[in-house]
Amino acid sequence: MKINYLKIIVLTASILLFNTAQKTFAQISKGTGNFMYNGYKPLADKPIKVWYYSPIDAPANLPIVFVMHGVKRNGDDYRDNWIDLAKKHNLLIIVPEFSKEYYPKSRSYNLGNMFDTEGNPIKEKKWSYSVIEPLFSHIKNIIESKQKSYILFGHSAGAQFIHRFVLFKPQNQAKLVISANAGWYTMPDFGTAFPYGLKNTATTSKGLGKSFDKKLIILLGEDDKDPNHKHLRKTAEAMVQGAHRFERGQYFYKESLHKAEEMNVRFNWEIATVPNVGHQNSKMAVAAVSYMAEE
């Protein structure tokens, strides 16, 4: 039998490269780093770059904090904003970056990829919201964590992402969700069409009740009041919610509380404001971490 040694050498080299790559991507040690995640099969063709920071070499016992970036898709900046806080409070920071290449425009990121450009519903397994829980399981696995839940923080477009994540994926493992300075909201209103309400979505009253039972904090910068901010949505439906982010957050909370009272269900949401802070992720993070210390 003739042996093709060249093929054997190439195959061996490929295996070694694959194993090396797997090892590189499957470790989180002290300091900053990143890896590509495509372990969630329905979205394997749309990999996510995951930025992280760990204050220690073996973060198995640290609380896991997911931080959702804003419209610029700058996960590294959001990770860096949390480094000092993570050092002080012993937190493992995980920032999944939804690139514009694979998750273009607000439809694919802020709005969860729930509907296509024609307005047709997309299967839940293909939603961008659906990658968070598998990523949590992946992080737990690679650091051998015993954590049963995680904390979720989002600012601006990230705040939009996570309040909708709570509305449409209420059976998640997050123990605390902090939505900071969202530009506009999906209201808990079955009479208003998505994305401004729940009409035409798969959400039911039962599901909404579960969403209201999650610990969600609407965190608002008291100086986030620019009605002409370049990233502030100004459609008629958004303007109903208020002239700027500070008003819109208060409107969302009040309408949600009213809906929960109407449904006679437990309402576990809170609202809090941060004095002398505008649309600034780093300063909102400082305010948010105090709520994490209580968990």
Tens-place pLDDT, residues 260-285: 999 999 999 999 999 999 999 999 99
Q: For residues 174 and 151, is the Cβ–Cβ distance under 8 A? A: yes
Phi and psi torsions of 163, nearest 5°: -70, -30
The whole-number pLDDT of residue 154 equals 98
Query: For 245-259, what is each residue's pLDDT tens digit?
Result: 999 999 999 999 999
Domain span holding position 188: 30-292
- List, for the chain, all residue ranges whose pLDDT scores fall below the cut of 50: 1-3, 5-25
143 belongs to a structural domain:
yes
C-alpha 195/C-alpha 197 separation (Å) is: 6
Q: What is the structure's pLDDT at 293?
A: 78
pTM of the model: 0.90
For residue 27, the model assigns a pLDDT of 75
Specify if 12 maps to a domain.
no
Is 175 within 8 Å of 215 (Cβ atoms)? yes
Does some domain include residue 15?
Answer: no
pLDDT at site 7: 43
Q: Is residue 76 part of a domain?
A: yes
Count of domains for the chain: 1
Output the domain CATH number for residue 177: 3.40.50.1820
Is residue 21 included in any domain, yes or no? no
Q: Residue 159: its pLDDT value, please? A: 98
Residue 173 belongs to a domain:
yes
Cα gap 74→265, rounded to integer Å = 38
Query: How many other CB atoms are found less than 10 A from the CB of residue 278?
Result: 17
Give the model's pLDDT for residue 10: 40
Confirm whether 14 is domain-assigned: no
Question: What pLDDT is stored for residue 3 in this prediction?
Answer: 47
**254 domain-assigned:** yes
The burial of 17, by beta-carbon neighbours within 10 Å (0-12 exposed, 13-18 middle, 19 or more buried), is given as exposed
